[in-house]
Structures are given as structure tokens and as C-alpha cells.
Amino acid sequence: MTVQGRSFKIAVFVHLFYTHSYVEFQSILSGLKNLDPLYLFNIGPSPEPHALIEQIKTDFPGALVLQSPNIGKDIGGKLALLDLYLSSGVKSDLFIFLHDKVSPQILNGEKWRNQLLKIVRTDTCAEIVNLFNQCPQLGLVGASEHLSNEYNPENRNFNSTNNLILKEYIHKFGLSLTDYTFIAGNMFWVRSRIYEDFFNKFRPLQLRAGLEKGNVTDAETGTHTHSLERIFSWIAQSQGYQIKGV
């Protein structure tokens, strides 16, 4: 099944670092099937990936599957998928970004994950599609529990270890922002054209090359990976679009 040059309503970008989490994602993604999206998967390191790839292609015919080295965590994986999407000539109206978010380093990781993944439940999907149809200025939608803002207008700094890198990125990308809200956890819906415009200018693989290797955290020092996570939300705001929680 060829996808080149085709148009889709929705393109779903899925990064699965822990390959065992695919079983759960099979049912999570079933909520999207009636929307007939294009699926793009990036799977993590696995000694025997071929069985999983075959399973994905059987479950989601036409899906494109990547296996990129582990840099930039889910952000690195999503950038590799974005690069593939942009080079494929495929068109779509909306993107959905998801990842397995196993987060074994976080104490309440499972609760966090379930909240983030509600954006692909069948009932929520219908609600989000309606929101995008009704509000042309809506750019990005994620779980309301994870709308976050670290900006302190008094000292013009971010209450985050990523403060300096965030400022560097804002300058580099020429982002014009009044609202610094972002979706912590990086799972959301976004209008395709917002990202198409941005990532045709700032090539995903070039950005990916600047990210940290391995499963990095920003608990003690800032990282380009966690900074870019915030930028993913601000790209929409910088183009004049709104961000909304469901």
C-alpha cells in the first residue's frame, strides 16, 4: 500500500521506545480507526524488531515504521518521523503526537500517562475534531491536567533547569510569544500546517542532531531535549494560534 503523495485527515506520530508497550497501543489507537489516519511509528532498540514491525504493518496497513537510534527521547523519535512525513509528500489536516510515556523514573508516571492518552479516546477524538472545525484559531490541543507554564514575568526567566536553553531556542527560531503555556508530556493534536511551515524551515534532522543521547532527565541540569518539548507547543502560539486543554 503506497502512501506517497496521498492526503489524509489525520497523521498519527507514535514513538514507542519500550517495544513491549505496543500491545497496549494497539487498543489505545483503535479509537482512531474510524478517522482512517496515516500512522507513522518509530520503535526503540530491539534485538529482534522484525516481528514487531510486521505486527504493526498488519494492524495498521500503510503504516510507515522507523527504527532510529535513541537520541532526544520521544522528541528525537518524533523529529525523525516528522522528517519522514515531510519528505514523503503526504498531506494531512491534523497531526497527533503520542508516545509510550512509560516514565519508570517518575513516581506517578502511570497516572500522568493515562491522563495524556485520553486525547485518543473515541469520545475525546470526536470532541477535538469538532473543536478544530469550529475554531480556526485553535492550534494545539492536549490534556488539560498537563497544561503547564513555567514563565515568571517578574524576572523574565523560566522556573526550570532549562531556562537558558529555552531562551536560546526562542531566539534561534524567532518565536514571538506572549503565552508560554505548553503541554507537559508532549502528547497532543496540532494543525498540520503549523508544523509543516516550521519544520520546512528548521529541518527536523538538523534539530535532532543537537539532542542528547540516551534517557536523559532535566531534574538537575537543563537539556535540549526537554527544552524542545516546550518549543513544540510554542510553535503554534508563535504563529498566532491558541492552545487548549480537554
Residue 210 or 240 having the CB closest to other proteins: 210
Region of 3-11, 114-122, 148-156, 233-241 interacting with other proteins (CB under 8 A): 3-11
Interface with other proteins includes 221 (CB under 8 A)? no
Range 174-213, binding other proteins (CB under 8 A): 203, 205-206, 208-209, 213
Burial of 157 (0-12, 13-18, 19+ CB in 10 A): middle
- Contact flags string 42-61 toward other proteins, x per CB under 8 A: xx-xxx-xx--x--------
Least distance between other proteins and beta carbon 208 (Å):
6
Range 65-84, binding other proteins (CB under 8 A): 65-71, 76, 80, 83-84
Residue 89 or 240 having the CB closest to other proteins: 89
Residue 99 or 244 having the CB closest to other proteins: 99
Task: Retrieve residue 130's grid coordinates.
Answer: 469538532
- Residues lying near other proteins in the complex (CB under 8 A): 2-5, 42-43, 45-47, 49-50, 53, 64-71, 76, 80, 83-84, 87-89, 104-107, 203, 205-206, 208-209, 213-215, 217, 219
